[in-house]
Structure 1
Amino acid sequence: MPIALTELVAETDRYLNASKIADYCPNGLQVEGRVQVRRIVSGVTASQALLDAAVEQGADVVLVHHGYFWKNEDPRVVGMKGRRLKTLLVHDISLLAYHLPLDVHPEVGNNVQLAQLLGLQVDGLLEPDDPKSVGLVGSLPANMMPAEFAEHLQRTLGRQPLTIEGDRPIRRVAWCTGGAQGYIEKAVAIGADAYLTGEASEPTVHVARETGLSFYAAGHHATERYGVHALGEWMAERFGIEHRFVDIDNPV
């Protein structure tokens, strides 16, 4: 049975507490399509490739982590943005996007989902004094050497991480999916043995080398595939509709 778009959006917004989380983009319904929803196609980013896959699969809604209308983005509907929006509007497909609400959620969030996948026990927040902290800290069931943890990441995520090996075995791990390499010094401050994120920048390497912390950049896309997939499955079960996750390859 189909579900009304308005009901699906309202219930999902409540589930993710979307209105309470300040962000760099609008969360929730970004493009409005047909009023009834039978099938959702989800993916990490609302790229043209994902939209084309959604059209091919007869989606009523595209659900993503990275949507549109970011702060300081060019507001003109031209070029790539125009083509993407035209695809949605011509085919009457809605776009639902959840950025930070999907990073921090305690059940379907990117960071919690990554922990479950890697077998990490969640012990608390990366920033323990900030209830809005995105990153988490936890522990492995048993110590791993830095090279072993890199191999674990490669097997689990299907890509080789950029690795800076630290000077000690790893038990306590801090992590934050996506482009969160700037949090590395917070990981140092809480005494983590390793910090895991999606991307790296030039200063990150020096911080890791000079503190003895193991650092892993396992891919922005690769670390953020799991929250949107889990949210799509929650929506399918909650509303009795169909969900398909489409993984558009991205090496970053």
Structure 2
Amino acid sequence: MKENTPTTGQEGCQTLPRDALVRLLDGWLEPGRFKDYGPNGLQVEGKPQVRRVLCGVTASLALIDAAIQRGADALLVHHGLFWRGQEQRLTGWMKARVQRLLAHDINLIAYHLPLDAHAELGNNAQLGRQFGWTADARFGDQDLGFAGVLPEDQQTLDGLRAVLEQQLARPVLAIPGDGRPLHRVAWCTGGAQGFFEAAIASGADVFVTGEVSEPQAHYAAETGVAFIAAGHHATERYGVQALGRRLADEAGLEVEFLDLHNPA
């Protein structure tokens, strides 16, 4: 069998060796290009053959339990279990998550910054697609941020906020700048509030990310550039869905995305 070539599984689905699956994902997302906060790729080893994959944003206990209920062989997420600087012992909530994965032989595969940055499958590219934002520039650390021109119906703060709230199905926090027309948008999903200064330097009229910290309100008032915090989870739902669709199309695996509510 050629590398990455699936074999026929039960009920007409396909199966793929776990290691070939990880090589396929690594080939698309190129994790070696990034200095990240934790390991990308396989985080917990499970079954050697994968047929059914459950995708989600975060490897929470609720998502792991859903993977068990669905008989998933692998869990593919944006936020994995292991992060730089965290507690190293398998106790409490971490023990519960790892114990469930190991007991049911489920592979946990996670991609953080590589899934934010990918020009087609990434969170930023996919968020832009939801709103008609076409990136013509990149900015920020490791070129994670995207920037482009806003459609006409989004060139006021109220108009942009309304479109975001409708699509994301949640309220967003909009901090006004100086009231200028919004022509250029810079965006970076998740907890990228620290990119606001780089977004301002890139020539943005408004910056969209997931979260806000105290300093950003002052920067908006003092520079005139508006800031929108649209939700960490809400802005990072789309990349793993795009990755899952490609996996289903090109590897023939059974792939499902589950969006578990998170107000953050």
TM-score (norm 1): 0.96
Identify which of 153, 172, 195 aligns with 1:161.
172
User: In 2, Cα distance between the equivalents of 1:125 and 1:20?
Assistant: 16
Q: Which amino acid aligns with 1:234?
A: R
User: In 2, Cα distance between the equivalents of 1:251 and 1:210?
Assistant: 29
Check conservation: 1:121, 1:141, Cα contact below 8 A. Answer: no
Identify which of 64, 71, 79 aligns with 1:58.
71
* 1:93 aligned partner: 106
* 1:242 aligned partner: 254
Do structure 1's residue 189 and structure 2's residue 187 form an aligned pair?
A: no
* 1:6 aligned partner: 19
Q: Following TM superposition, by how much is the alpha carbon of 1:248 offset from its aligned partner in structure 2, in angstroms? A: 1.0
User: In 2, Cα distance between the equivalents of 1:113 and 1:159?
Assistant: 18
* 1:117 aligned partner: 130
* 1:25 aligned partner: 38
Report Cα offsets for 1:71-123 as digits up to 9, x if no partner: 11111011100000011000000000000000111110000000001110111
User: After the TM superposition, which parts of structure 1 deviate over 3 Å for at least 4 consecutive aligned residues?
Assistant: none
> How many pairs are equivalent?
249
In structure 2, the residue corresponding to 1:156 is in which secondary structure? helix
Q: Following TM superposition, by how much is the alpha carbon of 1:44 offset from its aligned partner in structure 2, in angstroms? A: 0.5
Q: CA RMSD in A?
A: 1.0
* 2:182 aligned partner: 170
Q: Following TM superposition, by how much is the alpha carbon of 1:20 offset from its aligned partner in structure 2, in angstroms? A: 2.5
* 1:136 aligned partner: 146
User: In 2, Cα distance between the equivalents of 1:24 and 1:215?
Assistant: 25
Identify which of 47, 59, 76 aligns with 1:46.
59
Do structure 1's residue 204 and structure 2's residue 194 form an aligned pair?
A: no
Q: Give the fraction of aligned pairs with identical amino acids, expressed as a percent.
A: 51
Q: Following TM superposition, by how much is the alpha carbon of 1:15 offset from its aligned partner in structure 2, in angstroms? A: 1.0
Q: Following TM superposition, by how much is the alpha carbon of 1:246 offset from its aligned partner in structure 2, in angstroms? A: 0.7
Q: Which runs of 5+ in 2 are unaligned?
A: 1-13
Check conservation: 1:40, 1:59, Cα contact below 8 A. Answer: yes
Q: Which amino acid aligns with 1:152?
A: V
Report Cα offsets for 1:128-166 as digits up to 9, x if no partner: xx7x21001111132621111000100111111101122
Correspondences of 1:208-223 after superposition (within 5 Å): 208-223=220-235
Q: Which amino acid aligns with 2:134?
A: Q
Report Cα offsets for 1:12-55 as digits up to 9, x if no partner: 11111012222110000000100111110011000001001111
* 1:231 aligned partner: 243
Q: Which amino acid aligns with 2:213?
A: S
TM-score (norm 2): 0.92
